[in-house]
Amino acid sequence: MLIIPAIDLKDGCVVRFVQGAKNKKVYSCDPAKAARHWIKQGASLLHVIDLDGAFTGKPQNIEALKNIIAESPVPVQFGGGVRDITQIKSLLAIGICRVILGTRAIMDREFLKKALKQFKDRIIVSVDAKGDTILTKGWKSSYSGMDVYAFVDELKKLGLKELIYTDTTKDGTLKGPNLKMIKSLLKNSGLKIIASGGISSLEDIRKLKHLEKQGLTGIITGKALYEGKFTLAEALKVAK
C-alpha cells in the first residue's frame, strides 16, 4: 500500500486548506524543495494538485509543477483544472505519469470516454464527495446528476480500474478518514481505491492497511505530514 505525500499548489506555494477552502496555511514557497524532502524520506509517488486550476478551470501552476518534475526521480500524478484533451497531452509531455480528472470527467461523460480511450491507465478519476454527493469546481459546486455510488459504478463500466476517493468534510481536519465510506466503496465497486482526507495518525494508517486486501492501494496524506504528526518514513513502515 502506497503512502502518497500531497503537494497542493496555490500561487506557486505549497499550502493546505481545511475542507478545501478554509484556513489556508502556507508551508513552503519552494515546491521542488518539498518534493525533494518527501522523496528523501522514501516517497515512491507524489500527488500534486493545482488549487488555482481547480478553482479557475485551467492549471495555473505549471512552472512550479515543472520544477517538481525536474527534481523528482519518482512518478508525479497531477490534477486541478484539467478539463480538455490538449491539457492532458501537454501534462504527459512534460513528464506527468498520470493525470487526475475531476470536474470535467463528472460532468461530461463523452470527454471521459475519449480520455480513457486515448490515454488509458495514464488517467485516474478523483471522486471528491460530501456524504454521497459529488463535489466539482474546486469543491464549490454539487453535482446532482448522480450520487457517488452510481458514478463509481459508471466508472467501472467504462473500464476504469482505480480511482481516488476524498471525503471533503475530512480533508485537512486531522480527524481521521471516513472508514465507513471507504469500506463501502471498496465492497460495492470492486475497484482499486486510493483514499484521501482526514489522515491524522499512524493509527489511521494501520486501520486503512487492513483494507489493502479489499483493494485499497494507497493513502494520500498532506496536513498530517506537514504538521509533523508522523514522518513519511514512519508511515511507510506501517504501510509495509
| pLDDT tens by residue, 162-205 | 999 999 999 888 999 999 999 999 999 999 999 999 999 999 99
Q: How many residues does the chain have?
A: 240
CA torsion 134-138-61-28 (nearest 10°) is -100
CATH number at residue 169: 3.20.20.70
Catalytic residues: 8, 128
Number of domains in the chain: 1
Per-residue confidence band for 216, with pLDDT thresholds at 50, 70 and 90: very high
Which pTM does this prediction carry?
0.95
**pLDDT tens track for 107-141:** 999 999 999 999 999 999 999 999 999 999 888 89
Distance (Å, rounded) from C-alpha 176 to C-alpha 157?
Answer: 31
Calculate mean pLDDT across residues 33-52: 97
Residues paired with 124 in a beta bridge: 100
Question: Is residue 197 within 8 Å of 168, Cβ to Cβ?
Answer: yes
**Residue 211 — very low, low, confident or very high, per pLDDT cuts 50/70/90?**
very high
Q: Residue 143 has what pLDDT?
A: 92
Residue 64: which domain range?
2-239
Burial pattern 209-228, b for ≥16 Cβ within 10 A else e, equals eebeeebbbbbbbbbbbbee
CA-closest candidate to residue 63, choices 10, 12, 15? 12
Give the pLDDT of residue 18. 81
